A = this chain, B = another copy of it.
Amino acid sequence: MRPLAVAALSLAIAACAAPPLRGTGDLGLVVERASGRVMLIETSGRSSLGRIEGLGDLSHASAVFSRDGRYAYVFGRDGGLTKVDLLRARIEHRVIQAGNSIGGAISQDGRVVAVANYTPGGVRLFDARTLEPLSEVPTGSKVVGIADAPGNRFVFSLFEAGEIWIVDASDPRQPQVRKITGVGKQPYDGFVTPNGRHYIAGLFGEDGLALVDLWAPEAGARRILGGYGRGEEPLPVYKMPHLRGWAVAGRYIFLPAIGRHEVLVLDSVNWTEAGRIAVHGQPVFAVAQPGARRVWVNFAFPNNGVVQVIDVPALKVVHELRPGRAVLHMEFTPRGEQAWVSSRDDGAVVVYDGASFAELARLAAESPSGIFLTSRAAMTGF
């Protein structure tokens, strides 16, 4: 074969060296926080498919997904926004967009990625395809609890200002902002219910939660569970609970209490307290297993080597797991047959059978924290 032909053949083969065809519905990422990389996983065979490096500071990192499930958008603590191609296992785009970001969301139509920033306070909107910056919504306050809502809206809370803002990003170069003021002292996190109707922010500076009906935002915020904890002396708070993972199971919402060894149960029909469940430590995440029958809870230091499972009809703990030291996150496959749990200090991601609690797999990972599956692409409020 002559050199030209060899070159042409090599080129053709190189062009061929694409990864094998595969669906993206069973893919996900595990954040390896200490090393600035993510591990690519798949849940059908429960295996690791590789690693993607160079994502910067991934402490407290989170991720959302493109509507086709091919790309992840990873929000790093250093303000880095990284678009990862899961099929090619490589970084597609990366921008450093602010000094200190705390999370993000993707619009209902999948065209806009929003990043929430502590420093400087505000929300920045990016083109989901190119990561080109589109606009900025300055807030003058730390932004927490950002979530997407129907109508290409983003909803978030302002920590110092005590406000909830709703940004309509239908025209992402000219976002429309609705401000709800006086929602309460120091909202520290918030979330949109899975049906996209309500936004709920937890308050650190006083008792209770702020509730906004996104079908009637002009009505403002309403205080719920205002009497909770009144007159009691809370424990020192080792770690703020995360509300993004607050669990909606049927009519009940399960809330990790701040500074208490309790999970609160909120009735979403009448927005009153439906119970309190004593648990092993200060809860961090309370996550509803799809199927709404069980809620899994992890805990703050020093009780963070345990996961407890709450039975929803009984409203009590029925099972306890010990995946390893420093359990940071839990993620269910979308139909609930598997639970993926990260143990940072044992360097493991443990996969459990969602029905029998049997350990199905244990993958080695370096200081794993957040676990994010592509099924989030199809969900509102993630």
Interface residues of A (CB under 8 A from B): 1-2, 4-6, 8-9, 12-13, 15-16, 18-19, 21-27, 42-44, 65-71, 86-88, 108-110, 150-152, 195-197, 215, 249-251, 269, 290-293, 313, 333-337, 355, 374-375, 377-380
Contacts and interface: CB of A to CB of B under 8 A. Distances in A.
Given A15-B16, A44-B68, A291-B195, A25 B26 contact: no
Interface of A is mostly: loop
A63 to B, nearest CB: 15
Nearest to A313: B215
Contacts of A18: 18, 21
B378 A70 contact: no
B25 A70 contact: yes
Contact of A22 (B12, B70, B336): B70
Contacts of A196: 290-293, 336
A19 B13 CA distance: 15
Contacts of A9: 5, 8-9, 12
Nearest to A150: B291
Contact of A23 (B4, B70, B290): B70
A25 B290 CA distance: 19
Contacts of A215: 293, 313
A197 to B, nearest CB: 6
List of 3 A-B pairs having minimum Cβ-Cβ separation, nearest first: A25-B69, A23-B70, A23-B68
Contact of A195 (B12, B21, B66, B250): B250
Contact of A269 (B16, B44, B249, B269): B269
A335 B5 contact: no
A15 B20 CA distance: 11
A212 to B, nearest CB: 15
Nearest to A15: B16
Contacts of A150: 290-291, 293, 335-337, 355
A13 to B, nearest CB: 5
